Structure formats: C-alpha cells, structure tokens
Chain A
Amino acid sequence: MDSDQIVEIIIAEIRETVPELAEQAIGRDDSMADLGVDSIERSEIILAAMEQLGLKIPMVQLHGPRNIGELADLLLAKSSG
C-alpha cells in the first residue's frame, strides 16, 4: 500500500459519501472542505478510510492535513507505525 493507493481509497469514499461529487475530477492536492464536503461528511470519509485500512487509532490523531494527499500520507504513516 502506498500513498497514491490511499488517495484512491479516500476519493472513492468522497464520491460514495457525497454523490454530488461523483463526476468531479478530484486529486491529491484538493482539500475536502474546498470541494464542499462538510465537517460531518469529512469525518465519515476518514472513518471509512480507516476501516478499509484496518487502522484503529483515535480520530484526533488524524487532525491537521490540509489536503487529500497529506491525509493519505498521514494515514500511511499511522498504518505502518
């Protein structure tokens, strides 16, 4: 699993959670807030990604990333360590 694969997982979860974004081009430099994903939806997306990665850590440890790529990097770091 590398960061780009986690980006794909996150993007798939974004499209699942916010159907309005199904057709929208989304990349690792985008921030979920700028895409119009609200804070409740953001938490759902992060929880779903954690579930897929089998990651069991407090959510507050995933606070801080400014875009999808940074979130993927952090999820990767937490998964491997």
Chain B
Amino acid sequence: MNRPVGIEAMNVFGGMAYLDVRELCDHRGLDMPRFENLLMQEKTVALPYEDPVTFAVNAAKPVVDSLTAEERGRIEMVVTCTESGIDFGKSLSTYLHRYLDLPSNCRLFEIKQACYSGSAGLQMAVNFVLSQTSPGGKALVVTTDISRFALADANAVQEWAYSEPSSGAGAVAMLVSDTPHILQIDPGAYGNHAFEVMDTCRPGPDTEAGDADLSLMAYLDCCAGAYDDYARRVDGVDFRDTFSQLCFHTPFGGMVKGAHRHLMRKLYKAKPAEIAEDFETRLGPSLAYGKRVGNTAGGSVFVALAGTIDAIDLSEPQRIGLFSYGSGCCSEFFSGVVGPDGAERLKSMGISKALDDRYRLSIADYEKLLSGDAVVRFGTKDAELDHDIIPGAWPVAGKGDRLVLDTVAGYHRNYIWV
C-alpha cells in the first residue's frame, strides 16, 4: 500500500533580471517604518522577452536534460500551473512539450487556482502515480507566474501600493514519480480549507486587483483550517514536533511570520520568545529564495521548499510540513520527507548561482520596462521582441540553454535558445 511517491527532481528558475526592493520602496516614497519586518530583499522582474513559457521551460530544462532517453519517454503528463496564462484555449503545456522535446503520448493541460495552483498540480500528479494506471509513468508539474505592472500612470502606481514591491516572477519544475529522490510525499496526509472570497484576483488580461487586509485574513483562516483538517486525517500529529521544517506560501516573509504566530498561539498559547525562536529555526530557511524573487504565486511554496532543502543540514531525513494558499480561495496543508540524496540532487541544479547571475535593474531600467510599450499583451497577434531593450540583461555569453521569446506571428509564439 505504501508505495513511494513524490518529487523525483526539481528546479527553480528566477528569471534574468531583478530589482532591489528597498530601492523601489524609497523611489515610490512608500513609508515603511518597519520594512525589515516584511522580510523582502529583491524581486525578479520579467523582461519583455520573458513570458510564462520561457520561465517554465527554463525551470524544467535542466530537470528533463538530466534524464536518460528512456526516463524522458516515461513523462506521460505535463501540468502547467499558472494564473498568468497567455491563451484561453491553448495550454502553456503545449509549448513546454515542444521546447522540452517530450514524447507524443502525453497528457497536456493547464490548471488555475491563484497561488494554490502548484499544489493542485502536484497532488494531481501524485494521485496519477498512486493510481498505478500506468506503472512507472512520470508527470512533469511546472508552476509559472509573472507579475506585470504595465501601463504605469500615477493612478496605477498609487493603486499597486504595497503589492508592487512584493510581486515577483518565477517558475518551479517538479518531476513526480515513484522514485521520489527530492521529497517523498506522505500519502493521504493532507488537509484542505476552502471558501469563496474576493480577496485578490486577476480580472483582466494584464490587471491585478485585491484587498491586502482581506487576503491576509483569508490566509490566516486557511492556515488554521487546513492544518486542522490535516490533524483530523493524521493520527498523533503535533505541529511543533512532527515537522522539523515548514514551508508556507510566501507572498512576502512577513505574512508567513504572521501565520506561524497565529498557529503557535492558537495551538499552544506560545509566548513571543518561543514563537520567534521557532520561526527562525523552522521557517527561516524557507525564505532563502523567496526573498530574492518575490512572490512567485503558484510556485511560491515550492520556492520555499527548495530554499529549505538548500539551506539546512540534511545528513538525516527530515519531515517537512507545507502550506499552500491561493486567493479566492483554496488551501492545503501536506507533508513529505527529504533526505541527504535529495539535498545533493537539488544542489546540482545551482539555483542560488543562477539567482546571483541575474542582471540588477536600475530604477531607470525598471521604469522603462513599466512604460509598457515593449510588453507583449494578452491577445497580441504579431510582434517582434526588442532583445536590446535593457542591453546589460541580454546573455551575450549564453550557452544556448536559455529560452527567450523572439516573435509572435498569427498569435503563435516563437522562441529561441540563447
């Protein structure tokens, strides 16, 4: 019955350029007296020739390239998880299938539920493997989200307020199979909490809207509710002792801190000093990459997972508790075990190095991108991308392993390797 299942291989792609968040806040005149509490440092900014497809493919390529031809031939499902889709009908997975050169006997589709999408995709893949309808089959789950703050007039800037510094971009690729080297999922150990609420949304192709207070409240309700449901299913679980590390959906670190405090008070009436120490120990490592890319929406909880695996000592296997929340809203608390082998495999992806290698945008660069002229909007029929828009960001010494958008012809996006 307890057949192994989980994440076999994993990679995070944090884009080609980033902005210093403190610099942005100073530039916007955002009064943030306790800025440090928010636990934000950098945010990835998608360049005009980076879109959800390039992010997803660039995350997945090292994972797929590390497989033998036979293993690659067992990828039988590609699930793209996103709230940044580029077409109402054609899924992003079709582009992934082409540029990753995957087998033709493959299920391709895209799923959406705000920032919960990645966990939804992972659970679908886990259940595909557990069902044994195709023994030995693998599923590629890729989260990919970008925030675009285009059409920057003064009103828009006012309206974005604090969502601008926290919104990032990034993709996470996860190969799910019955050989879970990175994270062995605890099958059947999960809890959900969901209800209808209008906290944040993407009501138009290039717009985001929301209410930060309501979203925070829904997140806190869900964190407690999903954990309660997990505890209902899993005998003898203790939030403090069962999980040696925790990874939460991270809009920004401060929100995770608030949710952790809420749980520790609710479950144990814990005092501030104990809460602070526990946060540093069990959640501090999870912020390693999130504070460098910003909120990556569907992938955020897995960006946290990658940060934890790369940051902690994994000479012994550790159980990790994961909490995923997506506005609107749906949430899940689930868990898995990571060991020394997983740590070594993830390190081989060089996630931290790739983040270091991103181009640092100046405020002038960023403002130029915000003016929006170069952005390929939803529904664009024809376009030719200006690869020189930010000269320093273009990879002049590229090894032909990074995908960028080149043209759009008759709605069809054409990409090139650079």
Contacts and interface: CB of A to CB of B under 8 A. Distances in A.
B261 A44 contact: yes
Interface string A11-46: 000000000100000000000000010111011100
A47 B257 CA distance: 14
Interface residues of A, number: 15
Interface of B: 31-34, 37-38, 162, 195, 197, 211-214, 216-218, 220-221, 254-255, 257-258, 261-262, 265
Contacts of B254: 38, 40
11 contacts: A36-B33, A38-B254, A39-B162, A39-B212, A40-B254, A43-B213, A58-B195, A59-B220, A60-B197, A62-B217, A63-B213
Contact of A38 (B34, B195, B265): B34
A52 to B, nearest CB: 12
B33 A43 contact: no
A62 to B, nearest CB: 7
Q: Would you call the interface of chain A mostly helix, strand, loop, or mixed? A: helix
A2 interface: no
B286 to A, nearest CB: 17
Contact of B217 (A38, A51, A63): A63
Interface of A: 20, 36, 38-40, 42-44, 47, 51, 58-60, 62-63
A59 B34 contact: no
A23 to B, nearest CB: 16
Given A59-B221, A63-B217, A47 B37 contact: no
Contacts of A42: 213
A40 B219 CA distance: 11
